[in-house]
Structure 1
Amino acid sequence: MTLPVALPTLTDDCSNCAALCCVAYPFDADEDFALLKRADIPCPNLSDSCLNCTVHADLLPKGFGGCVAYQCAGAGQRVTQELFEGETWRDDPDLLEHMTYALRVVRPIHEALLLLQEVSNLPIPASAKRQALSLITALCPDNPKSVHDFEVPEVQDALADVPAYLQSLAPFL
């Protein structure tokens, strides 16, 4: 399956992110998170001097299994490096809610792209592979400069179509 567009990087690269996952999402104090945290509030385990987790080496023993399981599929560094040109909410606190919102928009798109990329390895009919390519193309806007480029109907409609498409592959597996 030859891709008609260049896919973004779909693997995590925390060194090029702004610890967006540690800010964007809420934590429920349960078996996955040792504390309660609201969305758009930095985790108290983030270092004050940089964007590093102070308990990263001990996430499981400290009760942060949700952090261990989390994957952004490359959305964090894409938001930080491409949409915000390397700026961080730590450098400019006014960016915090814009960056976390962008992560919550871009991450599901990256997850869908990751799944659709795997379709190329499946023994499915050519028509199903063409449909995957069509979805991939729709999920990859040309030169996105803001989160709004990911919120256009073409991208959001394609994202909404991915679950049904993946379910349609079941008879071939």
Structure 2
Amino acid sequence: MQLGQPALPELAHDCSRCADLCCLAYPFDQGEEFAINKATDHPCSNLNASGGCQIHANLSKRGFPGCVAYSCAGAGQRITQDLFDGESWREDPDLLHHMTHALRVLRPIHEALLILKEALNIPMPDAERQTCLTLMHALCPEDATSIWDFEEPEVQDALAQVPTFIPQLAPYVQRAR
């Protein structure tokens, strides 16, 4: 049976529809990418009390090129809007750890979907195309309403297969002339 491309979630970040999850979820150490130390699941000291980064317009100049380079691939707004129905850790602090955990689970899935979507542009044999589509379908569980849907073994197994599958497409990539 030939699979078609699944309905994909939004794969571009939209910070206006998120709850600043990237500014909470990940730790960073002071260095070339970040001007300060920050622990996992703690708000960055540059977050405004009302939401958003108070130095966003000057991130690189202020020593945060790691923030400039970051993209959640749409996972942040999906978590905030879909999985948590627009609720935020700001209004309900008990949600903080649940929402940041969800970002750490969903972001790699969104990144894998972006890579697989791009891979479909490579002229490849049908067997490889079907493998690509099978992985995409596995990463898009139907009627997903909770982060647990993305922690299911079939989703996580598909995610684990992506780094092995993508290099197998190298022989089909045509060099730009």
TM above 0.5, yes or no, is: yes
Report the Cα distance in structure 1 between the residues aligned to 2:138 and 2:8, rounded to whole angstroms.
11
Gaps of 5+ in 1: none
Describe how 1:7-156 pairs up with structure 2 within 5 A: 7-48=8-49, 50-156=50-156
Report the Cα distance in structure 1 between the residues aligned to 2:144 and 2:51, rounded to whole angstroms.
25
Residue 58 of structure 1 and its aligned partner are, at CA, apart by 0.6
TM-score (norm 1): 0.97
Report the Cα distance in structure 2 between the residues aligned to 1:44 and 1:2, rounded to whole angstroms.
46
Work out the percentage of aligned pairs sharing the same amino acid.
Answer: 58
- Which SS does the other structure have where 1:129 is aligned? helix
Residue 5 of structure 1 pairs with residue 6 of structure 2: yes
Deviations along 1:15-49, one digit per CA (max 9) or x if unpaired, are: 1000000000001100100000001000010001x
Report the Cα distance in structure 2 between the residues aligned to 1:14 and 1:84, rounded to whole angstroms.
15
- Which SS does the other structure have where 1:149 is aligned? helix
Residue 162 of structure 1 and its aligned partner are, at CA, apart by 0.5
Deviations along 1:73-112, one digit per CA (max 9) or x if unpaired, are: 0000001011100000001000000000000000000000
Report the Cα distance in structure 2 between the residues aligned to 1:129 and 1:51, rounded to whole angstroms.
42
Deviations along 1:37-71, one digit per CA (max 9) or x if unpaired, are: 001000010001x1110000110010000000001
Deviations along 1:108-160, one digit per CA (max 9) or x if unpaired, are: 00000000001121121111111100000000011111110000000000000
Report the Cα distance in structure 2 between the residues aligned to 1:3 and 1:71, rounded to whole angstroms.
27
Gaps of 5+ in 2: none
